Amino acid sequence: MRKIVLTLLTVCWINLTQAGVSIDGTRIIFPAGSTNVGVQVRNEFNTPALVQTWIDNGNIDEIPTAEEIPFVLTPPLSRVEPNQGQIIRIIQTGSSKLPEDRESLFWFNMLDIPPDNPNLVGQNLLSFTVRTRIKLFYRPSKLKISVNDAFNQIQFNYLADEKTVELKNPTPYYITFVSLNFKTSSGDGDYKKSIMVLPFSSQKIDFKLENKPNNVNYSFINDLGGVQSISKSMN
């Protein structure tokens, strides 16, 4: 069987084409006071690309109806020339229906469809589309604290019976953690996994700590997509 697989891999040499359009940034913040926000996409290849964009509300497998999403995109379908950029505008339509005491989360999707290459006509060709999906946060204007203050208000409670930690987010912001380091009397406990904690909610960290931590260092993603860290003692 191994020889058969190797033979097939040898005879089925396929030219590979792939998409080359990227999005500037890893998240989008839409302030309530703005009528629209621009998203910059860039085609880094030497061939044109067709780009389709849409917004979903969390279900990666469905494109929701217009009534479900309080935004429209313009243009939703565009041709991006080689080594050029394109601005996609996100425009408010029904944001008045969204909660005013916390952020709302949506997802911005971009489907990069590579064009046919006339130089490869008649050849075996594997061509595929590339989908990029990043978070879109709608941020009301009357939140009681700033996002920078919110990062400092995260709480960590040690649950002795379960030997784990409950992470509490008492703020109106979505906060995404990339790593946690707990210092205990018996050593350090590292947890490196992306966790997004919803506003006014909590989540348990799914690894065991034999002793109550004295200190925690947590890293999170800020509005610019960078990683910041904060250390604090645990009571």
Domains delineated in the chain = 21-139 (2.60.40.10), 147-233 (2.60.40.10)
Length of the chain equals 235
Quick one: pLDDT at residue 128?
Answer: 59
For residues 197 and 169, the answer to whether their CB atoms sit within 8 Å is yes
Kindly give, in sequence order, each residue whose CB lies less than 8 Å from that of residue 53, ignoring residues fewer than 6 positions away. Answer: 39, 73, 76, 77, 88, 108, 109, 110, 111
Which stretches within 137-233 are classed as H helix? Answer: 147-152
Q: What is the pLDDT along the chain (235 residues), one digit of tens a residue?
A: 444 333 333 333 333 344 589 999 999 999 998 999 999 999 988 888 899 999 999 988 888 888 889 999 999 999 999 999 999 999 999 877 899 999 999 999 999 887 665 565 555 555 557 889 999 999 999 999 999 999 999 999 999 898 889 999 999 999 999 999 998 877 677 888 889 999 999 999 888 888 888 899 999 999 999 999 999 998 6
CA 13 and chain centroid, separation: 35
The pLDDT of residue 51 is: 93
Contact (Cβ atoms closer than 8 angstroms) between residue 25 and residue 134: yes
What is the spatial distance between Cα 122 and Cα 195, in angstroms, rounded to a whole number?
47
